[in-house]
Amino acid sequence: MLAAPAPLSRRLSVAPMMDVTDRHCRYFLRQITRRTLLYTEMVTTGALMHGNVDRHLSFHPDEGPLALQLGGSEPADLAHCARLGERYGYDEINLNVGCPSERVQRGAFGACLMAEPDLVASCVEAMQQSVGIPVTVKHRIGIDRTEDYDFMRRFVTASAAKGCKSFIVHARNAILQGLTPKENREIPPLRYELVYRLKQEFPELEIVVNGGIRTWPEIENHLAVVDGVMIGRAAENDPWLFSEADRRVFGDTAPSVSRGSVVDAMARYAEIEVRRGTPLRHVVRHMHGLYRGRPVARRWRQMLSDVTALKSNDPALLRRALEEIEQRELALNSA
């Protein structure tokens, strides 16, 4: 169990990622870093207006600080969903204006909204009037072939005029047709300089940079220029990166955790979850990258993906895997 919830800071965060940053993933990451802000997967207003609210919004009390990302473009609906988020205890509501998927475009939200700065500003205003927690916007530097900084500048200015103070910028254009969402995270070039320029021009706004950031030197270089760094895929592939976050970014002096203690905590968590009916694989799938970069990494992943062991739904799998990995590491160290 963790101590009192840490205060919200956007200096370092884990990005919203569909099918990745679910509550199990966030609980796991929270065992590694106490302070890093975690975002949910995007939850659409439709899902909250017509679906099972509790299934979409409930989370473990130890997960915070936590931001709820919403997808939508209808101010009244977003305001309603933001209120629900606040009631559930989220620390921030974030609006997704960066997702390029065609399904999302059909719903007229996501990155295509960058072309409608006034509509986004109305959404932000409606949400902000409905909640006491901060409302933030996550967006791209442009859409399709727009190359000019002024496009993003106009977009940010409109929402800032309605009181939005924090912007998270994925430093790539979103190509709305012809690229898959995955290609849209790889092909359009990263242009951090545009995000830096935004910070320079609007020093009073909080500007967080996102896209392609994977190492501590990269994180620290960005932090010298902008207010925060958001990390997506590296959090999934190399979650142990965050083991240094509390000390390096937030100046915490508490002793850092070990991988073993994280697995222990997850084993306890898995026991409770499995008893509640959660399949074990839903919990352990987020832990595959824990030993990335170490000689035991492959064996760890293998054990955690063992279909037969997962089918038996026995949380002891985690303790068995840890025991074997620790023995192997010991043997490697004394070799």
Nearest CB to ligand FMN, comparing residues 106 and 311? 106
Q: How far is the CB of 282 from ligand FMN (least distance, A)?
A: 16
Tell me what percent of the chain is helix, strand and coil, each rounded to the nearest 5. Answer: 50, 15, 35
Binding mask 273-312 for ligand FMN (x = CB under 6 A): ----------------------------------------
44 binds ligand FMN (CB under 6 A): no
Which of 107, 212, 228, 289 lies at the binding interface for ligand FMN (CB under 6 A)?
212
Task: Count Cβ atoms below 10 Å from residue 207 Cβ, excluding itself.
Answer: 23
Calpha distance 242→213 (Å, rounded)? 13
Q: Is residue 72 a contact partner of residue 100, using CB atoms and an 8 Å limit?
A: no
Task: Please report whether residue 210 would count as binding ligand FMN according to CB under 6 A.
Answer: yes
Q: Does 233 interact with ligand FMN (rule: CB under 6 A)?
A: yes
Angle between helix 117-130 and 149-161 (nearest 10): 30
Asked if 17 interacts with ligand FMN (CB under 6 A), we say yes
Hey, what are 36's tokens? 């890093």
Nearer to ligand FMN, 47 or 317 (CB): 47
Let me know: does 267 contact 315? Beta carbons within 8 Å: yes
How far lies 294's CA from each of 262, 291, 319, in Å? Answer: 16, 6, 19
Residue 16 engages ligand FMN in binding (rule: CB under 6 A): yes
Name the minimum Å distance from CB 7 to ligand FMN.
Answer: 23
Paired residues of 170 in beta bridges? 140, 210
Give the nearer residue to ligand FMN in terms of CB position, either 19 or 54. 19
Q: How far is the CB of 214 from ligand FMN (least distance, A)?
A: 7
Let me know: does 230 contact 209? Beta carbons within 8 Å: yes
Between CA 228 and CA 219 the distance in angstroms is: 9
If one asks whether residue 107 binds ligand FMN (CB under 6 A), the answer comes out as no
- Among the listed ranges 25-33, 230-238, 251-259, 269-277, the one in contact with ligand FMN (CB under 6 A) is 230-238
**Which range in 52-60, 209-217, 270-278, 304-312 contacts ligand FMN by CB under 6 A?**
209-217
**CA separation for the pair 141, 153 (Å, rounded):** 9
Locate the DSSP E strands across the chain. Answer: 12-14, 37-44, 66-71, 92-97, 135-143, 166-174, 206-210, 228-231
Q: Choose the catalytic residue: 25, 99, 123, 164.
A: 99
- Residue 232 touches ligand FMN, criterion: CB under 6 A: yes
Residue 49 binds to ligand FMN (criterion: CB under 6 A): no
Do 209 and 226 form a contact (C-beta atoms < 8 A)? yes
Distance from C-alpha of 129 to C-alpha of 121, rounded to nearest angstrom: 12
188 touching ligand FMN, by CB under 6 A: no
Measured between alpha carbons, how far is residue 287 from residues 63, 82, 194, 237, 322 in Å?
A: 16, 30, 34, 9, 12
Rounded to a whole number of angstroms, the distance between the first and last alpha carbons of the chain is: 36
The CB-of-9 to ligand FMN minimum distance in angstroms stands at 18
- Report the nearest approach of ligand FMN to the CB of residue 264 (Å): 28
Pick the stretch among 83-91, 127-135, 227-235, 264-272 that binds ligand FMN (CB under 6 A). 227-235
Provide, rounded to whole angstroms, the least separation between the CB of residue 270 and ligand FMN.
23
**Strand pairing partners for 231?**
14
Q: Catalytic: 99? A: yes
Q: How many residues touch ligand FMN (CB under 6 A)?
A: 23
Encoded one letter per residue, x for contact with ligand FMN by CB under 6 A and - for no contact, window 129-168 reads ---------x------------------------------
Interaction site with ligand FMN (CB under 6 A): 15-20, 41-42, 69, 96, 98-99, 138, 170, 185, 210-213, 231-234
